[in-house]
A and B are shown apart, each in its own frame.
Chain A
Amino acid sequence: MSTKKAVCSVAPLALRIVAECPVSKARACDLRLPHCTVNTPVFMPVGTQGTMKGITVDQLEDLGCQICLGNTYHLGMRPGPELIEKVNGLHGFMNWKRNLLTDSGGFQMVSLVELSEVSEEGVRFRSPYDGKEILLTPEQSIAIQNSLGSDIMMQLDDVVSSTVTGPRVEEAMKRSIRWLDRCIAANKNPDRQNLFAIIQGGLNAELRKACLDEMTKRDVPGFAIGGLSGGEEKDDFWKMVTLSTDHLPREKPRYLMGVGYAVDLVVCVALGCDMFDCVFPTRTARFGSALVPWGSLQIKQKQFAKDFQPIDPDCQCATCRRHSRTYLHALFKTDTAAMHHITIHNIAYQLTLMRSVRQSIIEQRFPEFVRQFMRRMFPLREQYPAWAVEALASVNITLD
């Protein structure tokens, strides 16, 4: 693999590796993007429709969030790219001063819209809003993302469920490569917007490898590992992740799509991933689930009705500094602010976790951090998920 080519001079992105774990594949980087530098490993909260679930952009900034997601499919439908372009893109529309990443829209289409149909041209589907038939091509996905003005755009890929096997997986992988070329050619703003390729290939190591070989030939600013986190066995999942990072260029950011559970984050950092996103922490917050280092608290449950502690006594978020479990439990019956409190806490939890991970990598004590993290999350050794133990062992982190 050519490493010379990997330093991309024109891309509006620069990755500086701050520290690498001498034991595992974990790394801490500074990813310079157009709106600010992102410290990795990073968790990116998902603000689907140009808003972070009841949290203001100032609150999100105060939480230390440096990059968040918007969904091309949703924003392309409502309010539409033309409108967003008029207000200087999604940054202007939602008044977010830091970085944005947008997906291609393909995943939502396949997962949310019935009767979507994929051909070489693109994804054809019926709009759930007005019933009109729409064709999303790689060119259109990029055109919408160019209108949104995100700092990182994702290529349109041919998404197949990670549990699908057979020739469809290969077809999707190969088509994704062809679509990557079309996306690269369609990007109007290569000086302002980074286009990431998405590695496909399902759970088939050979196909993954083939996809990696082809895609890494392209001079894209970064790579995502796609097609995972869709209900496959964890044993298959981590093997595909580690295979991917083994073959991705060291100088470019690696984004593992759709991963956000704390254990998965820590393990996949060990496997060499830099960026993660997931709707889980914010979605689960709205159902009253607060994330803590030892799992989660279902605040709506009766056991918290008279629990006067904060969600996590060690958490420094605005919610934990002011509110008790009992009050949040009570408020959940009356007002949406209860959801906002837990959303704030959960985002704080994810971002704090990643900051701690980064700090431990910089201080060259990441393996010890992982061991502590696992001890806290699982009180008994028997509770350690076998896949996580195995995945960590594969990068020389042994759990006690």
Chain B
Amino acid sequence: MNETSQAVPAKPQGSPPSGAEKIGRRKFLSWFGLAWVSFAAATTGALSIVLRYLFPNVIFEPPTNFKAGFPGDYEIGVVDERWKEKFGVWMVRSPEGLYALSTVCTHLGCTPNWLVNESKFKCPCHGSGFYKSGINFEGPAPRPLERYRVALAEDGQILVDKSRKFQQEKGEWNNPESFLPL
């Protein structure tokens, strides 16, 4: 009986203990408390380090604004891939002007490929296809590719602002900022 009540400190309200045993249990409980406190401290410490780890010291994110050269650099009717690698943007020059398409598939976020011969963007992950305008027409992608803000900077270069997105399904492609008439 004595042994049981010592081994199960969680249930101290067992049979009335004798004097010697009382001290033993109190001692035990204080050790127990110490153990818990140190365990909690260690866990918190470890967790906080893990949390800290989630926030990197340096972020190699390309700036959201970039200058994309002069309008004359772009050929009419061509999907320009020069900024794809670095900024994740396709520049498309239509007869009327320029727009900047995001290279993120609207299905699950893979990067589609521009197929020149078929004149479409085709995603390698589940086969979504988009027209040159960014409109989705095949595969599972539920909405068109997003466009970014394009404007002319003072020095005559094109400014692409990736912090401003325009989604066709919300009617935002009518916004003059989503298109640079030339």
Q: Do A and B come from one complex?
A: no
- What is the interface of chain A, defined by CB distance below 8 A to chain B? none
- What is the interface of chain B, defined by CB distance below 8 A to chain A? none
